[in-house]
Amino acid sequence: MKRVRALVEEGECPINELYQQEANVAEAKLALVEARRSLELSRVDLVQTLHFDPLAAIDFAIPPADALVPVDTSATFAALVETAILARADLAAETERLAASGEGGTQAKSNQWPTLSLSGSFSSRYSEATDDDFFSQLDDRQSAGVGLSLSFPLFDRMQTRNIEQRAEINLENAGIAMDQLSQDIALQVRRAVLDRDAARESLSAATTRTTAALESLNYTNERYLAGSSTLFEVTMARAVLVAAESGEVNARYRLLWQSHLVDYYVGTLEPETELAR
């Protein structure tokens, strides 16, 4: 603004370029207000999602864009899937359910076999009809017994067979769920890896775009100071640079987000993990 005003006062630029620059500044201030409003609304959404106290003063730490370093991407897809198979809590729970279903089938089949039961008893009595003391009566009137019982399941209205069939169905369903979950985990990891690789390529392209836009703006400024370019061209070059820088910041955060998504789907993301590494 000051440079344009000086050029107008020196008569090197028409007054309309000053007015145009003032309009551009006002538009930039309006965009800043809208950006700050969007930031506050995002904070509100985050408080709602995390179920925080809306009256509490919460400071969400935002890592600077230039401090975001992409994580290590040397692990292969096969290695990530193997790690996910070992680390995913939901798969471990499904494995336990499958094992429990197998035990249920074994227990159902055990109902076909004869059952041998062992029982025992011990007792004593006391009566006021005799003159013997309490402890003497307990010693004299002790009785004990041991019994064995053997039962054969000859006919139980097909209950054992029905239990076995239900156990087999549960075991089969648990196996299907296990296979489905294993496939879902592999596909989730695959998608996360593809999105992370795409984000890394997008960041590279965005960085190149920012460098080119900066060089273009510097060149346009030099031409404008030399009188061979217009303020409109400078404004457009500056707008292209702002868009390029904004795209680069978005690409950096997207790469960081996708990298953490890989850790999440693999099952190695810890709750205390910092956003920026």
Q: Which sequence spans correspond to the domains of the chain?
A: 1-60, 67-112+158-277, 114-152
Question: Any idea which fold 67-112+158-277 has?
Answer: Outer membrane efflux proteins (OEP) (1.20.1600)
Tokens 């000086």: give the residue.
6
Q: Do 142 and 122 touch, CB atoms closer than 8 A?
A: yes
Neighbours of 1 (CB within 10 A): 10
pLDDT digits (tens, 9 = 90+) for 211-264: 999 999 999 888 877 777 777 788 888 889 988 998 998 898 888 888 888 888
Is residue 145 very low, low, confident or very high in pLDDT (cuts 50, 70, 90)?
A: confident
pLDDT at 8 over 60: no
Of the ranges 63-72, 81-90, 158-167, which is most confident?
A: 81-90
Q: What pLDDT does residue 159 have?
A: 64
pLDDT digits (tens, 9 = 90+) for 256-270: 888 888 888 888 877
How many CA atoms within 13 Å lie on the side-chain side of 229? Answer: 19
Q: Please give the average per-residue pLDDT across 56-60, as a whole number.
A: 79
- Contacts of 142 by beta carbon, 8 Å cutoff, 6+ apart: 122, 123, 124
State CA 196 to chain mean position distance: 15
Report CA-CA distances (Å) from 226 to 10, 219, 239.
Answer: 14, 11, 21
| Separate counts of helices (H) and strands (E) for the chain | 7, 2
Using a 10 angstrom Cβ sphere, with 0-12 exposed, 13-18 middle and 19 or more buried, the burial of residue 116 is exposed
Q: Please give the average per-residue pLDDT across 22-51, as a whole number.
A: 83
Positive or negative torsion for Cα 32, 35, 37, 43: negative
Nearest-10 crossing angle of helices 231-266, 159-225: 160
Q: What pLDDT does residue 277 have?
A: 45
Better-predicted residue by pLDDT, 156 or 75: 75
Q: Please give the average per-residue pLDDT across 164-170, as a whole number.
A: 74
pTM of the model: 0.63
Q: Do 170 and 47 touch, CB atoms closer than 8 A?
A: no
Q: How far apart are CA 71 and CA 140, in angstroms?
A: 84
Q: What pLDDT does residue 52 have?
A: 82
> Which run of H or of E encompasses 104?
helix 89-109
Tokens 């809306």: give the residue.
54
Q: How far apart are CA 247 and CA 255, in angstroms?
A: 12
- Average pLDDT of the chain is 78
pLDDT digits (tens, 9 = 90+) for 120-136: 887 777 677 676 776 77
